[in-house]
């Protein structure tokens, strides 16, 4: 896509646009910071959390550099606006694939081998991997990008100097595939989806009532045995329940379909979005939800609704695990926080 760096017409004369780019990146920085502090609870929890922090820092650097260009002007600025936008778009555009790949590897390693690793070493490992991603992206942009201005002279009374900036095709197709897959998975069960969502909301409310400490250290009360669970299940009316993969898709789609819909609309109508805008914390958290959902689905048979190695996510995976099992209101585990029994946590799944 082409970014307009400066333009000239008979009415307003010669105009440059660095302040518009600075304002755009400043808004992105504010939104990224808001999403980060809402979703990322613990930096050492995952590689993608550290990546989120690095994107915010990169946004802040871009805001600073664009502000310098605004104050000094294109003649006295050490770097040109075209150089900044072109290299920033190429750098951000090179990040999605390695971040997604290393994020999945990070979750698999934590689950399989590194579950007892200290937080400091996890944070150090994730910081080194994130630095390598950014180093690779910067080297790629500096070696491939040619920040050259091109003059557009389509009309005799209007001229413009434009710069070629890169879009992130991977994010465009990633959001399109996720949107299509989520809808295709739910369309055959469309009549049951409202009932399932209502049931998931009821289960979530019951968990909050039974879990005032907001702790994941859950064990079944001694008075609640498997026999009691079976008797309670007989009392519940028979209802169709979604399979686990569909329940997880519902949990993912309920939170992320609005974001995916907006992204697909931009893609369908060919609205150009440079990579330094489309590679943001919202996309990274959506990717994080996808990866944690996949790992949760893979491990749910052995670990049940609570995985000790997955960080907390915006999607309530455990609620949809209960939904797929047809758990009634008498069958939810009683949540009790007892520090003396942390190593004796018992989970019974009916």
Print pLDDT tens along the chain (350 aa).
Answer: 777 777 766 565 556 677 888 899 999 999 999 998 887 766 666 889 899 999 999 999 999 999 988 888 777 778 888 889 899 999 999 999 999 999 888 887 766 554 556 677 788 888 999 999 999 999 999 888 887 777 776 655 567 777 888 888 899 899 999 999 999 998 888 888 888 888 888 887 776 666 544 444 333 333 343 334 343 443 444 567 888 899 999 989 988 999 999 999 988 887 888 899 999 999 999 999 999 888 888 887 777 777 666 777 778 888 888 888 875 544 544 443 333 333 433 343 44
What pLDDT is recorded for position 309?
64
What pLDDT is recorded for position 82?
85
What pLDDT is recorded for position 239?
64
The answer to whether 2 touches 163, Cβ cutoff 8 Å, is yes
Structure tokens at 94: 């090179």
Q: Dihedral, CA atoms, 71, 72, 78, 80, nearest 10 degrees? A: 70
**C-alpha atoms less than 13 angstroms from C-alpha of 37 in its C-beta half-sphere:** 5
334: DSSP letter: P
**Domain spans, the chain:** 2-166, 173-344
What pLDDT is recorded for position 30?
94
Instruction: Give Cα separations from 33 to 14, 38, 43, 86 (angstroms).
Output: 35, 9, 14, 24
Short-list 345, 332, 251, CA closest to 296: 251
What pLDDT is recorded for position 43?
63
Residues ≥6 apart with Cβ < 8 Å to 18:
66, 69, 70, 74, 81
Q: Would you say the C-alpha torsion 162, 165, 171, 173 has a positive or negative sign?
A: positive
């Amino acid at each position: 896509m082409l970014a307009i760096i400066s333009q000239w017409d008979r009415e307003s004369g010669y105009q440059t646009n660095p302040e518009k780019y600075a304002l755009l990146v400043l808004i992105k920085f504010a939104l990224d910071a808001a999403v980060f502090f809402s979703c990322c609870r613990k930096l050492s929890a995952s590689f993608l959390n550290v990546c989120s922090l690095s994107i915010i820092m990169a946004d802040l650097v871009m805001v600073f550099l664009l502000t310098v260009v605004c104050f000094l002007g294109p003649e006295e600025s050490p770097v040109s606006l075209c150089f900044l936008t072109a290299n920033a778009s190429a750098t951000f555009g090179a990040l999605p694939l390695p971040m997604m790949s290393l994020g999945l590897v990070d979750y698999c390693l934590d689950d399989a081998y590194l579950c007892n690793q200290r937080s400091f070493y996890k944070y150090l490992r994730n910081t080194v991997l994130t630095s390598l991603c950014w180093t690779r992206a910067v080297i790629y942009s500096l070696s491939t990008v040619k920040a050259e201005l091109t003059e557009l002279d389509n009309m005799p009374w209007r001229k413009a100097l434009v710069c070629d900036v890169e879009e992130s095709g991977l994010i465009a197709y990633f959001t399109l595939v996720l949107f299509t897959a989520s809808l295709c998975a739910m369309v055959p069960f469309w009549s049951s989806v409202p009932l399932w969502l209502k049931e998931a909301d009821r289960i979530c409310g019951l968990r909050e009532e039974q879990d005032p400490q907001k702790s994941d250290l859950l064990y079944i009360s001694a008075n609640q045995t498997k026999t009691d669970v079976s008797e309670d299940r007989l009392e519940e009316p028979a209802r169709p329940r979604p399979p686990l993969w569909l329940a997880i898709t519902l949990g993912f789609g309920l939170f992320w379909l609005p974001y995916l819909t907006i992204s697909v609309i931009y893609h369908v109508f060919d609205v150009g979005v440079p990579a330094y805008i489309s590679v943001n914390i919202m996309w990274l958290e959506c990717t994080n939800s996808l990866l944690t959902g996949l790992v949760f689905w893979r491990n749910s048979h052995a670990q049940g609704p609570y995985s000790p190695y997955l960080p907390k996510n915006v999607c309530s995976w455990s609620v949809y695990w209960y939904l797929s099992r047809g758990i009634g209101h008498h069958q939810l585990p009683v949540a009790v926080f007892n520090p003396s029994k942390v190593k004796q946590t018992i989970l019974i799944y009916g």
